[in-house]
Amino acid sequence: MKTRMIIAILSLGLFTAWPTTATPPYTAIIIDSGSPYFVPRSATVSSGSPIRWDNPTATEHTITHLGCFEDGNACAFDSGIVLPSGSFTLPGLAPGHYPYLCRIHPIMHGVITVTDTFVPSQL
């Protein structure tokens, strides 16, 4: 009886295979209500590594690259509004230095440094 049931499930296509690729680890940054506001304030990651900001605060925030405000510079990222209990994830960045702030609370600053060398994730 069990064999027939397994064969029936497989023949109906109800069997789901395990994923063949793993989700890469990400660097975690927590938005805080007090200084230094982004924890860690400065993070170094490998090129192409995901970066995730989590907002456990009771207020809305943004994660906005300073290049978005400067003439002639490319805007590498702007999260838009990150709601309380929300998060924002970047799939990865090219090597470089990326200062950022919260547009709603400009006192909140952080910086991402992206390198070509392997940096263990800060999960």
Domains of the chain: 21-115 (2.60.40.420)
Note the helical H segments in 13-101. none
Q: Which residues are paired to 101 by β-bridges?
A: 64, 109
pTM value is 0.75
Q: Is 37 left (phi over 0), alpha (psi -120 to 50) or beta?
A: left
Q: Which residues, 6+ apart, have CB-to-CB distance to 12 below 8 Å?
A: none
Q: Using one digit for the tens of pLDDT, what is the confidence trace for 62-94?
A: 999 999 988 777 899 999 999 999 999 999 999
Do the Cβ atoms of 105 and 63 come closer than 8 Å? Answer: no
- pLDDT-based confidence at 24, cuts 50/70/90? low
